[in-house]
Chains A and B, each alone.
Chain A
Amino acid sequence: MQTQKFTNATKLHHMGMVPIVAYLIIKGQLEIKDRKGNEDKVLPGEMIGLKEVWHHQPLDFDIDTTPGTTLLPLDKSTLARFKEVLAEF
């Protein structure tokens, strides 16, 4: 796993799609907007998309990065490995 730095604001996810990876926010923030136009932020230490990636479900938010954001992407293979390791405890 490698962190990813975003120097510019960029679209990460379109509302209604199944996310291709979940994100753990390391630095900066993500801006999310729902169908009603309500806005919120996802801050460092928080995650988004975990349940949706695992269960192949749509995530009903538009997600954009802000400049200077650092994220840790968590794909399905990584989540599967976590699950295997945690099962041993």
Chain B
Amino acid sequence: MELKNHKLECETCVSHLKGIFCELSHDQLSPITNQKVTNIYKKGQSLFVEGNHPNGIFCISTGNIKLTEQGNDGKETLIRIVTKGDILGHRSLFSEQSYHATATAMEDTRACFIDKSFIIGLIKEQPSVALKVIEKLSKDMGAAEHRLNSMHTRNVRERLAELLLLLKESHGVDEGTRTKIDLRLTREEMSTMIGTAPETLIRFISEFKEAGLIEQEGKTIFVKDEGKLLEWTGCQL
């Protein structure tokens, strides 16, 4: 579906009820619609680059964005995937630090930019927005701590099982007997998310397929047995 690059009314955005502005009324949303900058980023285009300076936050309407960090060896690690309803750039903005990662569109993605002065004024006027941002930051921190713990305490098989369950939850499309993970990730990207080599990842994906936990059609993975995947994570999620 081709997205049209016209300014999107916040109230009619498909992700309106998932984002930080979900509790604002029509009158409170109108100034945001007037102020924001809406763009459609094609696959591979960056919203911001690691090391650059934040000027505001991005609110994702549709599509998926990958956040990547470059290591000293020049290799990129995919640290997080941001999807519709999420906000981006808030951490760097409020900590007044440079972007710690590069944000790149994984497909045609519509994102709205709201500048720093406006968002800070909005937060002062609308406590619900502040609370939603705090909630978002808290959840991000929790997820980061959990991931750090997983890297230390779980083996590769368990980390892969956990990743597949997380992707199923965030990007799963129910197809009756199986759930499609509606996200195009390369094997290299998946392997960096669980801290392993692509060859090891491929080996474990084959093992998961043989065990009936997942199916694969091209690059798309389908979760078949969620219960068994949960067992293979090594603990309850």
Contacts and interface: CB of A to CB of B under 8 A. Distances in A.
B53 A75 contact: no
A21 B52 contact: no
Given A14-B45, A20-B113, A56-B7, A76 B53 contact: no
B51 interface: yes
A14 B41 contact: yes
B41 A20 contact: no
A78 B52 CA distance: 20
A21 B55 contact: yes
Interface string A46-67: 0000000100101000000000
Interface residues of B, number: 21
Q: Main secondary structure on chain B at its contact with chain A? A: mixed
Interface of B: 5, 7, 35, 37-39, 41, 45-46, 49, 51-53, 55-56, 113, 115-118, 121
| Contact-residue size bin, chain A (C-beta under 8 Å from the other chain) | 20 to 34
Interface in A1-60: 4, 6-8, 10-11, 14, 17-21, 53, 56, 58
Nearest to B121: A77
Contacts of B39: 17-18, 20
Nearest to B45: A14
Contact of A77 (B38, B45, B118): B118
